[in-house]
Amino acid sequence: MPGFVVLHAGQTRRIEPADRQLNRHLRETHQKPQPLHRKITPNVKQSDLMRIIVHVDMDAFYAAVEERYNPALRGLPVAVGADPKEGKGRGVITTANYLARKYGIHSALPIARAWRLAEAARRRGEPATVFIRPNFPLYREVSARIMQIFERSADAFEEASIDEAYLDVSSRENFPTAIEHMTQLKAEIREKEELGCSFGIGPNKLIAKIASGHRKPDGLTVVASDMVQQFLDPLTIRVIPGIGPKGEAFLHQRNIRTIKELREIPEATLTEWFGKWGQRLFEKARGIDDASVSNEWTRKSLGEQETFEEDTRSPSVVTERLYSMAERIIGKLREKEFSGFRTVTVTVRFSDFQTSNRSHSIKNGIRVDNDGEALRLLKQEALTLLSPFFDAQENPRGKAIRLIGLRLEKLF
Ligand code: DCP
Ligand code: MG
């Protein structure tokens, strides 16, 4: 049964009818209707109300596809992965369906261990697990069809992996309408592809992603913007994209287990621990994420990198390379018919492979026109960003430079 974590009806009177729609949906799905919040906040910016982002993740994807094409598997524990060879196989499980997960079989588990878990279950009198080699072309084909359905259903769409996508559905105007739309979409996928999926709906990609993993399988988890902190606080830090086993262990050593505990760490401390990623983590712990939903990666930035034949300490050599990159990048920008850019990033990799970025955003951006002014301004920006790398402060040991990069972002 789909589960709702948090539903807040919204902040304006405008969405009252949808509020009732939502409660009707909750009753129809045998869930408790939500009290109609009537919190009217006059100073809410329109833009705060506007973004409605969905993350969808297919349930036990490879195993579910196998079950769909081989009905004899339905109702049985299924594990997709390497050949178990009666417990002597090498390799891992790629995925297991939810029945096999009950035995403790899951993605990335060594196949020999999965075999032993399956055998133990069988000896207890439980159904035997079916082990299957993966059929990647089939999974890709099914994925492509599902992605088409998602793409049609969104204002903007981003394929995040073979079984995951982000949908920007802001034009649905409010959460209850978006929920109804996603419920229909889930039914469509069930009907056409006989597959289950879990949705997360939130004010940005980060929250949508965490929400989709919150209740699985067949989940629908909604977190409206004013409930973000309440939703995040009790969760384990591990749900934050980018915190893997190592990051988790590092934070556990410092007694940080929940997002609430992470949120109590000052930004300076996080930056000290993780460098630039610390800043993002500080934001993530607060549910902040401005990334847009977009499949067009090339649109987002344009840049070049160059490794020197020999590492260099010469500012004039580095500057000369940076300037010629600037010329080519401005050329490409015009070629691709952009009007300008807002952010300039310079990357420097030293001889010991330590790599640093410095960025500057120009509030109204730099427009690309034909009189060479954009190029002059870009060279100036690039030089300003580069020069600290020759400082004693930024480069105390006077390390030589191995690679230089220049990138323009926030293109328009
Ligand atoms: N996959 C893999 N190796 C992993 C994890 C996953 O090959 N370590 C593959 C198999 C999965 C697919 O990617 O079917 C999607 O990965 P998910 O993490 O979304 O896992 P599932 O879709 O299988 O399960 P869930 O219902 O938890 O999303
Ligand atoms: Mg999945």
As a whole number of angstroms, the distance between CA 8 and CA 181 comes to 17
Token digits of residue 386: 């580069």
Residue ranges of the chain assigned to CATH 1.10.150.20: 233-284
Class assignment of domain 233-284? Answer: mainly alpha
Per CATH, the number for 77-128 is: 3.40.1170
The mean-pLDDT minimum among 18-27, 101-110, 336-345 falls in 18-27
Ligand 2 center from residue 78 Cα (angstroms): 15
Q: Given this model, what pLDDT does residue 42 score?
A: 33
As a whole number of angstroms, the distance between CA 395 and CA 131 comes to 55
CB–CB of 346/322 below 8 Å? yes
Per residue in 25-60, pLDDT (tens digit) is 666 666 655 554 433 333 333 334 468 999 999 999
Domain range 297-411, CATH architecture: 2-Layer Sandwich (3.30)
Ligand 1 pocket check for 105: Cβ under 6 Å: no
Per residue in 254-310, pLDDT (tens digit) is 999 999 999 999 989 999 999 888 988 998 999 988 788 887 654 567 888 887 878
Burial of 39 (0-12, 13-18, 19+ CB in 10 A): exposed
Ligand 1 pocket check for 62: Cβ under 6 Å: yes
Ligand 1 center from residue 144 Cα (angstroms): 16
Per residue in 247-268, pLDDT (tens digit) is 999 999 999 999 999 999 998 9
Four-residue CA torsion sign, 213, 215, 221, 227: negative
Ligand nearest to the CA of 78: 1
Residue 24 has pLDDT above 50, yes or no: yes
Measured from the CA of 58, which atom of ligand 1 is nearest? 22
Per CATH, the number for 13-59+138-225 is: 3.30.70.270
Token digits of residue 265: 């760490």
Q: Look-up: residue for tokens 């300076």?
A: 268
Per residue in 141-192, pLDDT (tens digit) is 999 999 999 999 998 899 999 999 999 999 887 889 999 999 999 999 999 9
Ligand nearest to the CA of 214: 1
Ligand 1 pocket check for 216: Cβ under 6 Å: yes
Residue ranges of the chain assigned to CATH 3.30.70.270: 13-59+138-225
Ligand 2 center from residue 145 Cα (angstroms): 16
CB–CB of 224/207 below 8 Å? no
Please name the residue whose Cα sits nearest to atom 7 of ligand 1.
94
Residue 15 has pLDDT above 60, yes or no: no
Q: Given this model, what pLDDT does residue 26 score?
A: 61
Q: Given this model, what pLDDT does residue 301 score?
A: 78
Per residue in 365-396, pLDDT (tens digit) is 999 876 789 999 999 999 999 988 888 777 88
As a whole number of angstroms, the distance between CA 24 and CA 48 comes to 26
Residue 319 has pLDDT above 90, yes or no: yes
Ligand 2 center from residue 194 Cα (angstroms): 15
CB–CB of 270/278 below 8 Å? yes
Measured from the CA of 59, which atom of ligand 1 is nearest? 26
| 117 vs 42, residue with greater confidence | 117
Ligand 1 pocket check for 107: Cβ under 6 Å: yes
Token digits of residue 262: 């992470």
Q: What's the mean pLDDT when you consider all of the chain?
A: 86
- % the chain with pLDDT above 90: 64
Of 92, 101, 163, the one to substitute when testing ligand 1's pocket (max ligand atoms within 8 A of C-beta) is 163
Ligand 1 pocket check for 131: Cβ under 6 Å: no
Ligand 1 pocket check for 101: Cβ under 6 Å: no
Ligand 2 center from residue 86 Cα (angstroms): 27
Q: Given this model, what pLDDT does residue 31 score?
A: 61
Per residue in 126-152, pLDDT (tens digit) is 999 999 999 999 999 999 999 999 999
CB–CB of 114/84 below 8 Å? yes
The catalytic site residues sit at: 164
Ligand 1 pocket check for 282: Cβ under 6 Å: no
